[in-house]
Amino acid sequence: MRRLSTLIAGLAIFILAAPLQSQQPELMPYVMVETFDVGTAQAEGFAEAIEHFKMAVDGAGVSAELPWEVYRQDTRWHLVLPMPDLTRFDPANEAAFMEMFAGTPGEAHLGQAMQIMSANSAPMTSELMLLVEDWTYFPTDFYMGSQTGASVFEAWVKVGAEETFNESTKDLFAMLTEMNYPYAVLGHRTLVGDGGKVTIVVLHDGLDSFYGANSLDSVASSVQMEAWGELMTARDDMVTKRNSFNVQYDADLSNSPGM
C-alpha cells in the first residue's frame, strides 16, 4: 500500500496547486517518475486500474488538473507526473485528494482503481526530477501530446565535473536549435532518487523516423555533426556511466487533456 499511497499523494498535489492545462501547456518545473515492474500476468489488471483512475478524474470533473503520462518499456511501466512545486506528500494532501471525489460519479471508480491496483501490485521505484530550463528545446511546429514514443538518455556525472557538464549540456541544446532539430528534447536533473543522474528525453513520432529521416546525421550538416561529435567525446570524461532506452507512449492510459 506504500506504493499506492505515494501515488495518491502525488496526484493530490495537482488538485491543490496545479493550473488548468492550456492547448499548449506550460511545462511544470518538477517531474515525479514512478516506474513499475509489471509482470505479464499483472499487465491487464494494472491497465484496468489506470483506466479506472481516468474514469475517476473524469467523474469528479478534475481531469484537466490531473495530467499524467504512461510510457511502457517491455514489462516496465513509467508513470510520469508533472509537479508545479515541492509540496510535501503529507497526509493532508491525501485527505484533500479523497475529498475531491466524495459524492461524485468518480468516487466509485477511484475505489475500484485502488482495489485493482492493490491486487496487481508491482515493485516500484520513485524519482523526483527537476526540469532544467536551459536544457529544453522545442521546434516551432511541435506540440505536447503529438509524440508516440520517447528515447531516454541517462548519464551519471562525476563529482566535481557538474559545472563543466552543465555548460556542455547547454551547448548541446544550442546546437539542436541551430540544426532546427524536429523533435522536442527535455533535460532533467535528479533531485531525489539516483544521485548524480541527468536524464535527457527526446519526444518523437516513432523509432523509424528517429533513427531514420529525422536522425541527427540526417538533419544536421557535416560541420554541425563534427562539432556535435567533438562535444560528445569531451563529455565522456565528465561521466561515470551512461544508459539509454526507448519507451512507447500509451495515449489510451495517459491523461493529457488539452494536449
Q: What is the pLDDT of residue 46?
A: 92
Answer with the one of 100, 122, 144 that is the final residue of a domain. Answer: 122
List beta partners, residue 72. Answer: 77, 248
On whether residue 257 sits in a domain, the answer given is: no
Examine the domain organization and report whether 144 and 106 are in the same domain.
no
Distance in angstroms (rounded) separating the CA atoms of residues 213 and 206: 11
Classify residue 53 by burial, with Cβ atoms within 10 Å: 0-12, 13-18, 19+. Answer: buried
Q: Where are the beta strands (DSSP E) in the chain?
A: 30-37, 69-73, 76-83, 124-137, 149-157, 184-192, 197-204, 239-249
| Residues 147-191 pLDDT 10s | 899 999 999 999 999 999 999 999 999 999 999 999 999 999 999
Q: What is the pLDDT of residue 28?
A: 85
Examine the domain organization and report whether 83 and 173 are in the same domain.
no
Examine the domain organization and report whether 99 and 190 are in the same domain.
no
Residue ranges making up the domain that contains 56? 2-122
Q: Among candidates 221, 210, 213, which has minimal Cα distance to 175? A: 221
Answer with the one of 76, 99, 122 that is the final residue of a domain. Answer: 122
List beta partners, residue 34. Answer: 79, 126
- With vertex at residue 71, the alpha carbon angle to CA 46 and CA 247, rounded to the nearest 5 degrees, is 130
pLDDT-wise least confident of 64-73, 103-112, 199-208, 230-239: 64-73
Q: What is the 3-state secondary structure (H, E, C) of 68-98?
A: EEEEEECCEEEEEEEECCCCCCCHHHHHHHH
Task: Using pLDDT thresholds of 50, 70 and 90, give the confidence band for residue 103.
Answer: very high
| Residues 112-133 pLDDT 10s | 998 998 888 777 889 999 999 8
On whether residue 90 sits in a domain, the answer given is: yes
Helix (H, G, I), strand (E, B) or coil at 188: strand
